[in-house]
Amino acid sequence: MKAEIIAVGSELLLGEIANTNAQYLSEWLATCGIDVHYHTVVGDNRERMVEVVTRAQERAELIVITGGLGPTEDDLTKEVVADLLGRTLHVDQPAYDRIEAFLKTRGRMMTENEKKQALVIDQADVLTNQAGLAPGMSVHTADHQYILLPGVPREMKRIIADHFDHLLGKETIKSRTLRFFGIGESALNDQLADLIRTARNPSVAPYAELAEVRLRLTAKALDEQVALGMLDTLEQQILAEVGSHFYGYGETSLPEVVLDRCRKAGLTLSAAESLTGGAFASGLTDIQGASDVFRGSAVVYSDTAKVNVLGVPQTLLDEETAVSRDVAVAMAEGARKLYQTDLAIALTGEAGPTSNSGRAVGTVYCALAHSGGTEVRELTYPAFDRGMIRLRSVKDAYFMLIQNISLTDEIGKR
């Protein structure tokens, strides 16, 4: 089944707001096993809307339209669709009653414009809007299905959640998202080229994120357990190829996985940050409940702070500079002692735009101290973006923790 998404609103064309609805709808339709072939944006103009919907009828069976259901004169979506289908509009009484009750709470009377929101297309399935006033609609013809949704994102999402399990047929559609770090989208595609090219059911769809990659797996079957089994098999094939870069599922994040694994292993964590300036700690403390694992971070941006707070020897800084393996080790061990934790991570490096240590911009050392010793990695990033160097450093530090904790779940006792 081919689908087209049409977003209505001149404010979208003017760049006043982003078209986040199209992204959300595409992801939703993908979980329904429906291919979106086109995204279209059109302003609040009847002639152009007729042109856009007419073109969509020629190239898609499912047409999803967001926006243009409100009370103003330039909200034209339902009128345009009704005219194209040769149908009329009528007042949906439950929608009318809902609007009227809302207005009474505001001490207002119903106006003709507000009444317009209760109009629906004849023979449409009315989709109650529990997050707003204008209902959505699902309209079937011999060749097409039209889904009309409000343009306000929270209203659109609520209608989808309340009224759609999946769109067509009796198939169960199950999706699973796998998250990867430390491998680029092109490299992951290269290693999984055969699977991605040949997989149809279940399907594989890669998505690049900031310094990460995720794979969405989608399976369709008549039975839920069969669909889940198909996903399990495909996941095992993927992890056999790129499992060393896998860290989690769904919408989880690297710091969430760090906290979860530390919590399950009964480990506490601290940090010492130079170039990242507290960003590592911030990512953890953004998560509720982090305090049961994370004890604190020493932001030691200057050499003096490294000496006074963490006990890094001045002679070491003089001999090797702050951007060195040995200083990273001393920082991690100093933080572990300072906060009395099982684990401590340290980050020091050159984020640019110029170097103060003589090391190349983009050189970073990440050290992990635990009871069995201290491990250190030298990381190298492209030198053109200070912000990206800092971000990648933090994410690499999270991933280093994840990799080490997953080895034994007893790293602090080695």
Reduced 3-state DSSP string for 384-396:
CCHHHHHHHHHHH
Same domain? For 51 and 158 the reply is yes
Cβ-contact 124, 139 below 8 angstroms: yes
pLDDT at residue number 167 = 59
Same domain? For 70 and 108 the reply is yes
Same domain? For 113 and 211 the reply is no
pLDDT at residue number 379 = 96
Same domain? For 322 and 402 the reply is yes
The residue assigned the tokens 């003089």 is 318
pLDDT at residue number 312 = 98
Same domain? For 103 and 185 the reply is no
Same domain? For 187 and 154 the reply is no
Q: 146 CB contacts (<8 Å, ≥6 apart)?
A: 63, 64, 65, 81, 85, 137, 138, 139, 140
Angle between helical axes of 254-265 and 386-408 (0-180°, round to 10): 30
> How many domains in the chain?
3
- Which residue, 249, 264, 288, sits at the end of a domain? 249
Give the Cα separation of 52 and 23 in Å (integer): 19
> Residue 153's domain is classified under what CATH number?
3.40.980.10
pLDDT at residue number 224 = 85
pLDDT at residue number 406 = 63
Same domain? For 136 and 66 the reply is yes
Angle between helical axes of 20-31 and 153-163 (0-180°, round to 10): 20
Cβ-contact 326, 299 below 8 angstroms: no
Same domain? For 378 and 233 the reply is no
* 273, 363, 388 from 384: Cα distances, Å: 21, 12, 9
* 285, 324, 385 from 391: Cα distances, Å: 16, 19, 10
Q: Walk along the chain (414 residues) and give the pLDDT tens digit of each residue.
A: 799 999 999 999 999 999 999 999 998 887 777 889 999 999 999 999 999 999 999 999 999 999 999 999 899 999 999 999 999 999 999 999 999 999 999 899 889 889 999 999 999 999 999 999 999 999 999 999 999 999 999 999 999 989 986 555 556 778 899 999 999 889 999 999 988 888 888 989 888 888 899 999 988 888 889 999 999 999 999 999 999 999 999 999 999 999 999 999 999 999 999 999 999 999 999 999 999 999 999 999 999 999 999 999 999 999 999 999 999 999 999 999 999 999 999 999 999 999 989 999 999 999 999 999 999 999 999 988 999 999 999 999 999 999 999 654 443 333
In sequence order, what are the beta bridge partners of 373? 370
Same domain? For 157 and 9 the reply is yes
Give the Cα separation of 386 and 393 in Å (integer): 11
> Residue 275's domain is classified under what CATH number?
3.90.950.20
> Residue 245's domain is classified under what CATH number?
3.30.70.2860
Q: Quick check: helix, strand or coil at residue 225?
A: helix
* 8, 255, 282 from 402: Cα distances, Å: 44, 9, 17
Same domain? For 156 and 12 the reply is yes
Same domain? For 99 and 211 the reply is no
**What's the residue count for the chain?**
414
pLDDT at residue number 414 = 32
What's the pTM value of the predicted model, to 2 decimals? Answer: 0.71
- Which residue, 117, 133, 163, sits at the end of a domain? 163
Same domain? For 143 and 197 the reply is no
- Which residue, 134, 163, 192, sits at the end of a domain? 163
Q: Quick check: helix, strand or coil at residue 286?
A: coil
In sequence order, what are the beta bridge partners of 368? 345, 375
Cβ-contact 183, 242 below 8 angstroms: yes
In sequence order, what are the beta bridge partners of 91? 119
pLDDT at residue number 137 = 96
Range of the structural domain that residue 180 is part of: 172-249
